[in-house]
């Protein structure tokens, strides 16, 4: 760590492998969308190449870090890299929450004729603005056919509240893990990490169950603007929880390998922040979808 010169990475083949993986994934995806039979297998192959690249590339970085090659300049660049990643994540979810807000507060009332201009009431005759709106305004809704069905959402105090309690508990356990790491309590750290990973996994299980209930009750991705935004937000959130659980598992493995001490544990801090972020996004979902 004494060398404070700018760190220039060595030549590596991982970026090109990543590019091949992403290209393969998208070629497979595009063909799958067109109903080509080899679409799915090519997609899976692309995904496998990306997973292989991440395992190899991140493994190289971990080995370099443990090998003491990195100096404080590299530490700063990692912190900035993490910050830009987080910025993109915040913007990503802000766009979806923005879509939910726009649809609910502006566009749906406009379609119902609320204070927009003189044209909107005539667009879809008989349309009344309701929320949640689970059918898209179209000819289907005209002529006495109802715009929304008699439909009961999953009870807020059922799975959504249990899932909120689970994720908040995982936020508590990772905070205890963080404290244990800073205090040098290795066994407590490992125990709290295992608890956090378990809570995240149970959350995902319940989320899949809730999707099953919702689909069975008729709430689908095609169920109007509400169905679309509901599944986009909760689906991408679930995807992030999955990534978080994988990252926490890698960190647990690195803890057991003795990669961190009470002063140097940037990887843990990055993942811990990410987990707190995913937790806050869920809290936002719970409040804006189920409450306000």
Partner 1 sequence: MNLIVLALVLVIFLSLGSALIGLLRGGKQGSDKMFKALRMRISLSVFLFILLMFASFMGWIEPNNILPTQ
The mark string for 227-266 relative to partner 1 (x by CB under 8 A, - otherwise) is ------------------------------------x--x
Backbone Cα Rg of the chain: 23
Q: For residues 113 and 124, what is the distance between their CA atoms, to the nearest angstrom?
A: 10
Alpha-carbon torsion (134, 138, 139, 144), positive or negative: positive
Q: For residues 251 and 177, what is the distance between their CA atoms, to the nearest angstrom?
A: 12
Q: Does 142 bind partner 1 (CB under 8 A)?
A: no
Kindly compute the dihedral angle of the four CA atoms of residues 254, 177, 244, 274, in this order, to the nearest 10 degrees.
-110
Toward partner 1, which CB reaches closer, 211 or 277?
Answer: 277
Q: Does 292 bind partner 1 (CB under 8 A)?
A: yes
Shortest Cβ distance from residue 269 to partner 1 (Å)? 6
Helix/strand/coil for 146: coil
Contact 276/171 with Cβ under 8 angstroms?
Answer: yes
Q: Does 290 bind partner 1 (CB under 8 A)?
A: yes
Q: Which range binds partner 1 by CB under 8 A, 33-41, 153-161, 207-215, 230-238?
A: 153-161
Q: Which range binds partner 1 by CB under 8 A, 5-13, 27-35, 44-52, 279-287?
A: 279-287
Chain center to CA of 127: 34
In the region spanning residues 85 to 124, those forming contacts with partner 1, defined by CB under 8 A, are 86
- Look at the block and give the residue holding tokens 């395992």: 55
Shortest Cβ distance from residue 290 to partner 1 (Å)? 6
Query: What DSSP line would sit under 234-267, residue for residue?
Result: HHHHHHHHHHHHHHHHHHHHHHHTT---SS--HH
Give the number of C-alpha atoms closer than 13 A to the C-alpha of residue 183, restricted to the C-beta side.
Answer: 10
Q: Does 135 bind partner 1 (CB under 8 A)?
A: no
Shortest Cβ distance from residue 210 to partner 1 (Å)? 14
Contact 170/203 with Cβ under 8 angstroms?
Answer: yes
Q: Does 188 bind partner 1 (CB under 8 A)?
A: no
One residue of 152, 187, 216, 258 binding partner 1 per CB under 8 A: 152
Contact 233/96 with Cβ under 8 angstroms?
Answer: yes
Q: For residues 195 and 180, what is the distance between their CA atoms, to the nearest angstrom?
A: 13
Shortest Cβ distance from residue 198 to partner 1 (Å)? 17
Shortest Cβ distance from residue 273 to partner 1 (Å)? 6
Residues composing the chain: 292
Shortest Cβ distance from residue 171 to partner 1 (Å)? 4
Q: Does 182 bind partner 1 (CB under 8 A)?
A: yes
Q: For residues 109 and 101, what is the distance between their CA atoms, to the nearest angstrom?
A: 12
Toward partner 1, which CB reaches closer, 79 or 257?
Answer: 79
In the region spanning residues 20 to 79, those forming contacts with partner 1, defined by CB under 8 A, are 75-76, 79
- Which residues of the shown chain bind partner 1 in the complex (CB under 8 A)? 75-76, 79-80, 82-83, 86, 128, 130-132, 134, 146-153, 155-157, 161, 164-165, 168, 171-172, 175, 178-179, 182, 263, 266, 269-270, 272-273, 276-277, 279-280, 283-284, 287, 289-292
């Amino acid at each position: 760590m004494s060398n404070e010169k700018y760190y220039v990475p060595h030549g590596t083949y991982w970026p090109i492998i990543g590019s091949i993986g992403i290209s393969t994934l998208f070629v497979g995806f595009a063909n799958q969308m067109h109903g080509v039979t080899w679409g799915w297998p090519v997609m899976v192959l692309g995904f496998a190449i990306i997973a292989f690249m991440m395992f190899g590339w991140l493994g190289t970085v971990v080995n370099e870090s443990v090998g003491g090659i990195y100096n404080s300049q590299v530490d700063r660049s990692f912190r900035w890299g993490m910050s830009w990643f987080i910025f993109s994540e915040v913007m990503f979810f802000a766009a979806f929450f923005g879509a939910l807000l726009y649809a609910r507060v502006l566009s749906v009332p406009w379609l119902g004729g609320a204070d927009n201009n003189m044209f909107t009431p005539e667009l879809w005759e008989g349309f009344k603005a309701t929320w949640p709106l689970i059918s898209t305004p179209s000819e289907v809704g005209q002529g006495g056919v109802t715009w929304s069905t008699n439909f009961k959402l999953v009870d807020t105090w059922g799975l959504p509240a249990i899932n909120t309690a689970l994720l908040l508990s995982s936020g508590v356990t990772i905070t205890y893990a963080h404290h244990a790491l800073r205090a040098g309590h290795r066994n407590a750290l490992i125990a709290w990490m295992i608890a956090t990973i378990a809570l995240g996994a149970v959350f995902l299980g319940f989320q899949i169950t809730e999707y099953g209930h919702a689909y069975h009750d008729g709430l689908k991705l095609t169920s109007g603007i509400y169905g679309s935004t509901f599944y986009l937000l909760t689906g991408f959130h679930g995807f992030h929880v999955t990534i978080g659980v994988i990252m926490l598992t890698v960190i647990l493995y690195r803890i057991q390998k003795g990669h961190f001490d009470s002063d140097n544990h940037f990887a843990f801090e990055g993942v811990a922040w990410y987990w707190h972020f995913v937790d806050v996004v869920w809290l936002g979902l719970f409040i804006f979808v189920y409450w306000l």
